[in-house]
Amino acid sequence: MMNSLRIFTTGVLSLALVGAPVFPAIAVSDELRVRGADRDVLHEERTIRSSAASYRSDEILVKFKDAQKASRVTVPHGVSVEDFLGSFTHRGDVEYAEPNYIATAYAAPNDPYYSYQWHFDNASYGGIHMNNAWDVSQGAGVTVAIVDTGIAYEDYSIYLKAPDFSNTMFVPGYDFVSNDTHPNDENGHGTHVAGTVAEGTNNNSGVAGIAYQAALMPVRVLDGSGSGSYADVADGIMWAADNGAQVINLSLGGPTSSDTLRDAVAYAYNKGVTIVAASGNDNGVVGYPAAYDDYVIAVGATRFDEARAPYSNYGASLDIVAPGGDLNVDQNGDGYGDGVLQQTFSGSPRSFGYYFFQGTSMATPHVAGVAALVIANGNATSPVDVRTALQTTADDLGTAGRDDYFGHGLVNAPAALAYTSGGSGGDPTPNVNDPPVANAGPDVSVTDTDGNGLETVTLDGSASYDSDGSIVSYEWRTVSGTLLGTEALLTQSFSLGSSTITLTVTDNEGLSSSDSTDVMVSAVPPIVTIFSDSFEVSEWNGLWTEDSQNDWFRSSQRATQGSRSAEIDGTANNAALISQTIAMPQGKTTANISFDWYIESSLDSGEYVAMDVSVNGGSWTEKARILGNVDQENTWHAVNVQLSASSSVRIRFRGYMNSSNEDANVDNVVVIAQ
């Protein structure tokens, strides 16, 4: 393996909102059209709830042990309720004593379509319990930046202000797409997102928003198609931080990490801004910027039944979930797919309706809105404290405790507002994901054995690993960037020469690293014939010698090359024909010996001809044998023997037979050095 440089992927030049091509699962459908009957759907829902901070100062409630119910007891003049309660603490005749709390009639918002906003509150589950939260905070004094496709926030040029924003406060924003001070929406996505955060509420119109007394800051970084560059997104984040945003909502994302994007969220975070971002909609790993754990609260999506939405991204970077909806089901039975409802437009920025959307884009503003409520309430204001308030009070879903599919759980607005520092656990530890380790395997050196200029090689990246997650993708690429394969094992044909191949692995949180290996394909060394004899010139031709039995001779009885061969017959007891010493050329280490031999049918069992070799002056080793009554007789057999030799080779043929009528032949002996 080459010395590897671990590279974390950076540098994607475009960014798409969650629900556009990068996060493709967002759908826009099921417009809730304004009809006369629809306006009669909502009736005032009155519930009696007590306020923990409000009770009568002139009396308390005391339950005596012999009484059927608590009695009202007047608090003496000049005595506090707390002190008076203390006087009953140790009395043996008292079962309990408590303040006489004040109960108030609490009404759900009178917005006519609020009953369709199951994601805010409902009688069963799925929502974030907004009815109880609004009695504590409405987000006054907090500015939330919507960094998105813009907002339909003003009547300007061809644009109109969305009617449900008539009571919503806006602060100046900026358009980084058109480079002007009118960040009007040309897509509809940003308007829908902004409505969830701070739509006008309790105004007898349309739908409700979470932090409806907060101010919205429109920052346009995505164009009418829902796409924008990382540079514009980064500029928008930093501009919002510099111009007073306390919360930034990022219902957008890309699949690739970027130093520019990371620096932007770090800049805003260090200026005290709480940053909330969508995890993504492709049922994969958390995208960017949500995956920047140190600075961003990453939000996943749930359905009405509090199950993870099937599109919602997950992993170690996920912090919290919120309702994002699922338009494929109607679990609440209201006749519409269970999306998130807000006012926006589709097509013309002058014609508005009420649309159900789904996606982590829709979940994210729920969390941003609750963050604004918490900051306005004052129980948490710094990014660390806001994160702690949201995460430690979330409704735990899935596996007990934090898990990769629900994070810390479903955001709970009133519980977050009740959070006090030191009361519900400590500061959350940001989820830090370690990158994977790529291992492209050792360098490979092969020879083009068939001489066609190509050789097939298998590269093995299976030794790559991820210490805190899993590897979800493999990419093998050439130096020029050509993709060769996407599996751990790559089988590929390589041409002559050296090729550097880089393996990039990506883990389930989107971090990547790379390692390279070199593949060297060498040409077949030129063939050099260092010995050749077909016994045509003269007997032994100075190339062979016999032992003392002298049973070999040059014969014209049969041959495969020319008309002559070496023959043995008669009474032979391993009678030998021995070659001269055959020198190996410098740099050649392989000898290929080929020859033909023949035995007549007259050879008996146990009779044979054998071929031996001696390498580098060493002892003899038998390499081949042809046996009478075993191997096919009366025919030529071609034999090839390959061996390693660095300096020299000798060849010996031996015959064993007991009659002059028993013959065997050897012909066409060739030694090639490679």
pLDDT in tens, 593-628: 999 999 999 899 999 999 999 998 889 999 999 999
Contact 191, 343 (CB under 8 A): yes
Helical (H) or strand (E) element with 64: strand 46-64
Prediction pTM value: 0.54
Contact 670, 531 (CB under 8 A): yes
Contact 173, 344 (CB under 8 A): no
Name the CA dihedral angle for 536, 537, 542, 547, rounded to a multiple of 10 degrees.
50
How many angstroms separate the CA atoms of 278 and 146, rounded? Answer: 13
pLDDT in tens, 437-446: 899 999 999 9
Contact 317, 125 (CB under 8 A): no
How many angstroms separate the CA atoms of 453 and 495, rounded? Answer: 6
From the number of C-beta atoms within 10 Å of its C-beta (0-12, 13-18, 19+), residue 582 rates as middle
In 168-216, where does DSSP find H-type helix? 189-198
Residue 276 structure tokens: 């909330």
Distance of CA 33 to the CA centre of its chain: 39
Contact 392, 428 (CB under 8 A): yes
Share of the chain above pLDDT 90, in %: 69
Q: Left, alpha or beta for 87 (phi > 0: left; psi -120 to 50: alpha)?
A: alpha
The CATH number of 528-673 is: 2.60.120.200
Fold classified for 444-523: Immunoglobulin-like (2.60.40)
Radius of gyration over alpha carbons of the chain, in Å?
43
Question: What is the average pLDDT across 110-114?
Answer: 90
pLDDT in tens, 33-80: 221 222 222 222 222 233 334 678 888 889 999 888 888 899 999 999
Q: What single-letter DSSP state applies at residue 525? A: P
How many angstroms separate the CA atoms of 447 and 454, rounded? Answer: 9
Question: What is the average pLDDT across 490-496?
Answer: 93
Q: Output 564 or 424, whichever has higher pLDDT.
A: 564
Closest CA to 664 of 568, 576, 589: 568
Closest CA to 289 of 300, 281, 278: 278
Closest CA to 631 of 601, 593, 658: 601
Q: Residue 151 carries which side chain, given as an amino acid letter?
A: I
Q: Residue 608 carries which side chain, given as an amino acid letter?
A: Y
How many angstroms separate the CA atoms of 162 and 477, rounded? Answer: 50
Residue 25 structure tokens: 């699962």
pLDDT of amino acid 200: 92
Largest CA distance in the chain: 144
Angle of the 360-377 helix axis to the 383-392 helix axis, nearest 10: 110
Question: What is the average pLDDT across 322-350?
Answer: 93
Helical (H) or strand (E) element with 268: helix 259-270
pLDDT of amino acid 336: 93
How many angstroms separate the CA atoms of 404 and 397, rounded? Answer: 11
Residue 43 structure tokens: 């009736």
Contact 319, 298 (CB under 8 A): yes
In the predicted structure, residue 645 carries a pLDDT above the cut 90: no
pLDDT of amino acid 657: 92
Give the 3-state secondary structure of residue 83.
helix
Contact 98, 60 (CB under 8 A): yes
pLDDT of amino acid 175: 97
In the predicted structure, residue 13 carries a pLDDT above the cut 60: no
Share of the chain above pLDDT 70, in %: 89
How much of the chain is in helix, strand and coil states, percent to nearest 5?
15, 40, 50
pLDDT of amino acid 435: 82
C-alpha separations of 338 from 119, 163, 341 in Å: 9, 24, 9
Q: Read off φ and ψ for residue 570, nearest 5 degrees.
A: 90, -165
Taken in order 262, 264, 268, 274, the sign of the CA dihedral is negative
Residue 470: pLDDT band (50, 70, 90) is: confident
In the predicted structure, residue 660 carries a pLDDT above the cut 90: no
Half-sphere exposure of 665 (CA within 13 A, CB side): 25
Residue 3 structure tokens: 């010395």
pLDDT in tens, 141-182: 999 999 999 999 999 999 999 999 999 999 999 999 999 999
Q: Residue 442's CB: how many other CB atoms inside 10 A? A: 12
In terms of CATH, what superfamily is 124-417? Peptidase S8/S53 domain (3.40.50.200)
Catalytic residues: 148, 189, 361
Helical (H) or strand (E) element with 661: strand 648-673
How many angstroms separate the CA atoms of 198 and 9, rounded? Answer: 36
User: Judging by DSSP bridges, how do beta strands 512-523 and 444-448 pair with one another?
Assistant: parallel
Residue 433: pLDDT band (50, 70, 90) is: low
pLDDT in tens, 355-392: 999 999 999 999 999 999 999 999 999 999 999 999 99
Mean pLDDT score of the chain: 86
DSSP string, 424-477: S-SPPPP--PPPPB----S-EEEEETTSSSEEEEEEE-TT-B-TTS-EEEEEEE
Query: Which sequence spans correspond to the domains of the chain?
Result: 48-105, 124-417, 444-523, 528-673
